[in-house]
Structure 1
């Protein structure tokens, strides 16, 4: 779609937001032995998750704690009378905007979240599978199907959810590259001036798009959000722009990581991949197991509202509390043999989409995208297997996890 709105690049064109990944999220191949060793010391420990894992923590000087047990993690995420989302104010609040529902507590959070939920209900999201997701998948696969080999990350999963978002927003093709650089730069908290610059420039861009789409609405996501109301209220501009700023990271980046991890896990467990080939009804179980086994986001942040006790540990008011979802997802008290990837295990809810009132509003879209991606792989990449002549996939990171490459071969 053509637009009169001009998107602005970073002032420093040499700045590359894609190079910040390792500094921000770590490069550890397998953090889980260290996570298990920490949990053996207690389900709630003093210190931030980043510090306990040997990385710099940018939260400030307030007391910090890390939650490693599944029971205690659920307690923190659900009990909003004791734990607040205000810890995101200096980071996500600064770049996405203080209108981001990720930074809000109830009643403000619930008031605006219900409008987003209205758009992202499963019955609406499923229609995007046919009209948006499948054409993107088929278009990307057409580029490598004739070769009989591919890097599924570089050529498919890294591009796929972002292309879906561009179509949902109906962005002009000319804006896509700059848009992605700004969107990724927003979470480069080790380069805060650029992160703030990205938030400002995306805000200006979305403000113009909202005005255009309100005057001439279409069926794109900007038009839907700008014109949707709940209980007679439209989303305030601050809340709407904050959500649109966050969409690329919350929906695109995490879905790219989750889909990549799912495919890597199945290719490294070919018996389970073969079982899915024979019975597609196993796909939902495979998706949930991949999200549990090595979820794309390993921590969620909360702040203690008042003095409280958690797991027998005193938590003072104002303390930052890292909920280590990756630890909770591999808690042997909750998941038998937790380090094994096993799509046949008894299904229990995982922590990768959080819990409680802040559970991921885009979780249904993420599942649709992961399902359609796996269906397309099974339909088109016959006899899919890892390329024996190239390095095996390595899932890395302590905060955000993803393999850099998945080299495969398949029968043409």
Structure 2
């Protein structure tokens, strides 16, 4: 496959988007004690979550609130008549594009989301598990299997969801390195000039790619998105390009983080890992518990459309609300001993994929990728355990959570 336009690198080739994580999303080892302390002040409190945690806020100078209670989070995320996704426009809208479904409200959001949902239905996504996900996982693991040791982040979880996306998009291998640099750079809002540059250059690339796939459609995701219609409507180019810009971050980055957290939790709890090894039917429960216990995205943003009240607190129109999934997922009124990772706990729905009309359209793909990854770990890494001679994994971040390393040993 060739495109009429080659992908363009950052003007400043010395810029490293992979170092932006800590600056943008924090390096807090354990934000949950602070989150619990904030919840003691009420289910809804004044001020943004970032500011409460000692970080700058990107949402402007208007009134801000943090939503910490689970029922209040449910209310804000599901009531689109009172709360808008427009708060993402200065960040995601600037780099992904104003056609991003994360920035749209109804009726536009519902109209275009139907097309994405049609493509990401579970019955279609499951077929990608064997045709795309498994070969990627097997190829990555083959590089370290003979050693009997690995860094599961650097050598596996950080790579495989992105390589899945490259295969889904059918990108030429020569474009992959620059593509990932641009995709990650889009969310470096501390360096907004580079974030905007990344969005512009990916936009040029995807428009050329869409034209090529419409002329000669294949089985790849770009071809499907470019040719699928619902009720006689195709996706407008602005919406399609915005979605493709966002795909790397929404599908790749969060899956890498979620899988890394899952493996860290199981390695810290070898009795639960052993239980899953003995009974693979526990894998779905383990994935859901990892997403609840330390979901990859702790906060979601909404804006009040009108003057309203949430949790007994007056919210003026135009106010920004940080809906803290990390707090709702560890609400002691909902989850017994919420800070404990326990795959055997009674299942309750979590907030890590959001709720309501903006619930993550790619959640089924994320779960397929996490499931396939865990099966591969169980099949190919017998005797898997943390390497006692290397630093233990530390899950860090205030907004986005992930360990930098997972050093393990296994029986080669």
| d(CA) in 2 for partners of 1:212, 1:73 | 43
Please name the residue that 1:190 is paired with. Answer: 190
CA contact (8 A) 2:43 2:67 kept: yes
State how 1:236-251 maps to structure 2 within 5 Å.
236-251=236-251
**Alpha-carbon distance in 1 for matches of 2:6, 2:39:** 50
Partner residue of 1:49? 49
Please name the residue that 2:229 is paired with. Answer: 229
How many Å separate the matches in 2 of 1:33 and 1:299? 16
2:302 equivalent in structure 1: 302
Shift of 1:3: 3.2
Aligned residue in 2 for 1:36? 36
Aligned to 2:262: 262
Partner of 2:371: 371
Which residue of 1 is the match for residue 19 of structure 2?
Answer: 19
- Give deviations 1:384-406, integer Å, cap 9, x for gaps: 00000000000000000000000
Residue segments in structure 1 that go unaligned for 5+ positions in a row: none
Q: Is the 8 A contact 2:28 2:397 kept in 1?
A: yes
* TM-score, normalised relative to structure 1: 0.99
Give the alignment of 1:135-146 within 5 angstroms.
135-146=135-146
For 1:196 and 1:3, locate their aligned partners in 2 and report how far apart those are by CA, in whole Å: 23
Q: Secondary structure at the match of 1:132?
A: helix
CA displacement, residues 32-67 of structure 1 (integer Å, 9 cap, x when unaligned): 000000000111010000001111112110100000
Please tell me whether the aligned partners of residues 283 and 371 of structure 1 are also in contact (alpha carbons under 8 angstroms).
Answer: yes
Unaligned runs of 5+ in 2: none
For residues 96 and 79 of structure 1, the distance between their equivalents in structure 2, rounded to whole angstroms, comes to: 25
Q: How far apart are the structure 2 equivalents of 1:164 and 1:83? A: 34
- C-alpha separation between the residues in 2 aligned to 1:190 and 1:54? 15
Aligned to 1:118: 118
Q: How many equivalent residue pairs?
A: 412
C-alpha distance in structure 2 between counterparts of 1:55 and 1:322, whole Å: 14
* TM superposition shift of 1:4: 3.5
> How far apart, CA to CA, are the structure 2 residues paired with 1:89 and 1:149?
44
Query: 2:227, 2:245 → 1: CA distance?
Result: 18
Map of 1:202-351 to 2, 5 A cutoff?
202-351=202-351
Following superposition, the deviation at residue 107 of structure 1 comes to 1.0
Deviation at 1:5, TM superposition (A): 2.5
Q: Is 1:157 aligned with 2:157?
A: yes
Partners of 1:234 and 1:310 lie apart in 2 by 38
Q: Given that residues 49 and 66 in structure 1 are in contact (C-alpha distance below 8 angstroms), is that contact kept between their aligned partners in structure 2?
A: yes
Contact map agreement 1:73 1:328 (CA 8 A) in 2: yes
Superposition CA RMSD, Å: 0.5
User: TM-score with structure 2 length normalisation?
Assistant: 0.99
In 2: Cα distance, 1:5 partner to 1:261 partner: 38
SS state of the match for residue 242, structure 2? helix
Structure 1 runs of 4+ with >2 Å offset: 1-5
**CA displacement at 1:229 relative to structure 2:** 0.3
- Give the superposition deviation at 1:20: 1.0
**Contact 2:3 2:208 (C-alpha < 8 Å) held by counterparts:** no
In structure 2, the residue matched to 1:398 is 398
